Amino acid sequence: MDKFRIESDSLGEKEVPCDAYYGIHTIRSVENFRISGIVMSEEMLKSIIYLKISCAKANLELKAIDERKGEAIIMASEEILKNFEKYKAQFPIDIFQAGSGTSLNMNVNEVIANLAVEILKKDKGKKIVHPNDDVNKGQSTNDVMPSAIKISAYLLSENLIRAMKNLENALSDKGNEFKDILKSGRTHLQDAVPMTLGQEFQAYGRAIEKDIERVNFAKKFLEELAIGGNAIGTGINTPPKFRDLTVEYLNLYLSKKFIPAKNGIEEVQFLTDIANFSSALKMVAIDLNKISNDLRLLNSGPYAGFNEIFLPAVEPGSSIMPGKINPSICEAINQVCFKVFGNDLTITNCCAAGQLELNTHMPVIAYSLIESIKILTNGINIFAEKAVKGIKANEERCKFYAENSLSLITALNPILGYDKCAEVAKERRKTNKRSREIIIEKGYLSKEEVEKFLNVKFLTGQNKKNSGNL
């Protein structure tokens, strides 16, 4: 039995494995782009297939395709979606490929076409269902790729937002739990005025809440799709209702509310909506990284650091130092954030590099954006469950720092003036006496007045609006 079949295109002939559903275009792309060994994500491939089904259904309704072929394309596409693991190896092309993603689009077209041929009881490679004329009918790589990127990001964002909401709730719950635990604030990693540990965690919760708003706002722009615009967005070679019908079928299939492009030409060549969504992910990563860093500092010690909180122990921290426990989850989150930063820079540069009627850097945009969403989603879930929800407070250490902060003297600025307060702070540094003691010795205030004005709990501002009160 032959191991290969011969296929031809405008450049000549190639051997294709007999058992392969892909064809000659895929073979050429595999040979041309041996770069990273990284193939396109499952989510992007499935989004392209959703578009193929929707276009086939629109073509059938408009009688623009033979009924048997159209039904076979739909059946083949649904079979791949249902049993993706079975067909996963049929999509072998490196993510670093032709910039519009023609290699990827044709790979999908060929696999669907040959599976459709089998459904029609014919041999693979016969082009009874043609990858270009039938599977790709009414489409171009140029409108398929940006649409599939948006669909992938939109669908994945739903899990991301749920993960972020879970983290926001976990941080806010800790804010309530720690609402009466006094501690010192810190600016420039130096003593600052007092606050509560609860206020600190409520601020973290609010930051994530705002990030959710940013992601939701950016997500709205993902709803507008280029599909139906064909080569440059004008809709060449498509019936008048094709664009609207395709999106209608897509929405029926996914139970979503995507809309056709308001300007098809703009939607094909400008990928700013995608860059905008990546930027929202970067904002999430900025805040997540800062919170992770803070928790690492607050957990530092136990005897040579702040030691204000206890993060859950998840693994031994050292291969040589017995008993050492590291903030491993926070460190993993830092690395997730740095990867998102890098992906955003890649996406920004790629989206900015479009020329005239097309952007030619879409495969790496797709891979990078999907990776960012997935690692953020998984990382945030792990962060909430394995770090934040298990945090315990070292109330005694927090109270000690609150009552001994050098910057506690700030509360007396309105009473003694800045210069006298600076003098007290300077003497405290020199003598290591408590500020209260120095103030009384100098006769600036009585003991009763000092206790009144340096009431640490009062100084946290919890009785004031917008002070982070709980």
Annotated catalytic residue 318? yes
Tokens read off for 47: 């989004």
CB atoms within 10 A of CB 467: 12
Of 318, 319, 405, 467, which residue is the catalytic one? 318
Judge contact between 104 and 40, C-beta under 8 A: yes
Residues 251/254/257/258 CA torsion (nearest 10 deg): -70
Burial bucket for residue 28 (CB in 10 Å: 0-12, 13-18, 19+): middle
Write the single-letter amino acid at 288. Answer: L
Whether omega for the bond prior to residue 302 falls within 30 degrees of 0, making it cis, is yes
Judge contact between 337 and 289, C-beta under 8 A: yes
**Cα angle 76-77-82, degrees, rounded to a multiple of 5:** 100
Q: Which residues make Cβ contacts (< 8 Å) with residue 116, sequence separation at least 6?
A: 69, 72, 73, 75, 76, 129, 134, 135
Judge contact between 28 and 14, C-beta under 8 A: yes
CA distance 23 to 130: 11
Q: Return phi, psi of residue 318, to 5°.
A: -145, 145
Catalytically active residues, by annotation:
318
